[in-house]
């Protein structure tokens, strides 16, 4: 790990890092600050802060507050990715992250959304599934009761909604491990809600293991989920549960933050 950190530090441009430290120092609670206040919050010396503030002012990202010695951010800061990123849909934003999961911890990675008793595959990246003929195309559906991808979303709905949704399905066994009893499924939902992610071990398709976590919108509602699936022979349960949940949660956290900060500008509707 140490060489990797050393290379990262060697390749970083400290002046850029410090410029972003200055910009992040401004908050809703402290939208206007003096040079000394910015320096203290950014953890920089006064001279460096002075030069950075005036450089950012020349570029239009910082403006002086009239009749004071204070500064504020300008609306030009919205150009730093916001305008571009909010033109993307959740599916488009998730696609490169699913690709990274495929390279890192998954044989297949998916983005799903709920529709009645089903979870619908909105985006899907699939590699070698160990010879299994499992094709989950975009727009394909599977019942929530047997899929970690669907359970990860449903678990954050009110209990009455969870029960009503599960009761819509016939709940047949897809493998000997499929859970079909509603009360048992509801207990599982409570566990998922508590730990923040769902796990399926051969319940939806024999020999496949899946970890899934929800994506939350600006109002805090679970609107989608990301899953990582591996062939059982590739990794033992313990190894998969050690590696996959942190990676999946990092992605869902980033996407949730994007939805929160966009205030609904990023499209989350399904496009089957």
Q: Which positions of the chain have pLDDT values less than 50?
A: 1-6
Res 5: pLDDT: 46
State the pLDDT at residue 245.
97
Asked if 110 and 123 count as a contact pair (C-beta separation under 8 A), the reply is yes
**Predicted pLDDT of residue 137:** 82
For residues 60 and 166, state if they share a domain. Answer: no
Give residue 10's pLDDT: 64
Per-residue pLDDT at 4: 47
pLDDT score at 143:
95
Model pLDDT, residue 2 = 46
CATH number at residue 37: 1.10.10.10
Query: Within 10 A of 260 (CB to CB), how many other CB atoms are there?
Result: 15
**Predicted local distance difference test score (pLDDT) of residue 201:** 94
- What is the domain extent for residue 68? 15-77
Establish how many alpha carbons lie within 13 A of residue 68's alpha carbon, considering only the half-sphere containing its beta carbon: 11
Q: How far apart are the first and last CA of the chain?
A: 42
Is residue 267 situated within a structural domain? no
Residue 113: predicted pLDDT: 95
The predicted pLDDT at position 186 comes to: 98
Backbone φ/ψ region at 113: left (φ over 0), alpha (ψ -120 to 50), beta: beta
The alpha carbon of 141 is separated from its chain's Cα centroid by a whole number of angstroms, namely: 22
Same domain, 199 and 106: yes
Per-residue pLDDT at 150: 97
b/e map 148-178, b = 16+ CB within 10 Å: bbbbbbbbbbeeeebeebbeebebeebeeeb
Considering the domain architecture, whether residues 110 and 60 belong to the same structural domain is answered as: no
Structural domain tally of the chain? 2
Same domain, 42 and 102: no
Between helix 46-58 and helix 14-25 the angle, nearest 10°, is 80
pLDDT in the model for residue 1: 42
């Amino acid at each position: 790990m140490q060489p990797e950190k050393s290379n990262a530090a060697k390749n970083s441009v400290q002046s850029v890092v410090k410029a972003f430290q200055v910009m992040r120092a401004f908050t809703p609670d402290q939208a206007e600050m003096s040079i000394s206040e910015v320096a203290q919050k950014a953890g920089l010396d006064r001279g460096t802060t002075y030069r950075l503030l005036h450089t950012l002012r020349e570029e239009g990202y910082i403006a002086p507050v009239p009749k004071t010695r204070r500064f504020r951010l300008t609306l030009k800061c919205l150009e730093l990715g916001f305008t571009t990123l909010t033109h993307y849909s959740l599916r488009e934003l998730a696609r490169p992250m699913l690709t990274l999961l495929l390279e890192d911890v998954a044989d297949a990675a998916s983005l799903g959304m709920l529709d009645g008793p089903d979870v619908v595959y909105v985006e899907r990246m699939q590699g070698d599934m160990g010879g299994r003929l499992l094709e989950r195309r975009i727009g394909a559906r599977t019942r929530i009761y047997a899929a970690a991808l669907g359970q990860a979303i449903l678990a954050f709905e009110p209990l009455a909604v969870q029960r009503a949704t599960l009761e819509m399905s016939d709940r047949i066994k897809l493998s000997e491990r499929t859970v079909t009893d509603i009360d048992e499924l509801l207990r599982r939902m409570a566990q998922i809600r508590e730990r923040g992610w769902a796990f399926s071990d051969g319940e939806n398709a024999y020999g496949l293991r899946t970890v899934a976590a929800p994506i939350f919108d600006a109002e805090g509602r679970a609107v989608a989920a990301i899953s990582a699936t591996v062939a059982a022979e590739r990794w033992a349960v313990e190894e998969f549960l050690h590696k996959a949940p942190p990676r999946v949660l990092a992605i869902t956290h980033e996407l949730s933050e994007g939805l929160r900060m966009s205030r609904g500008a990023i499209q989350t509707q399904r496009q089957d």
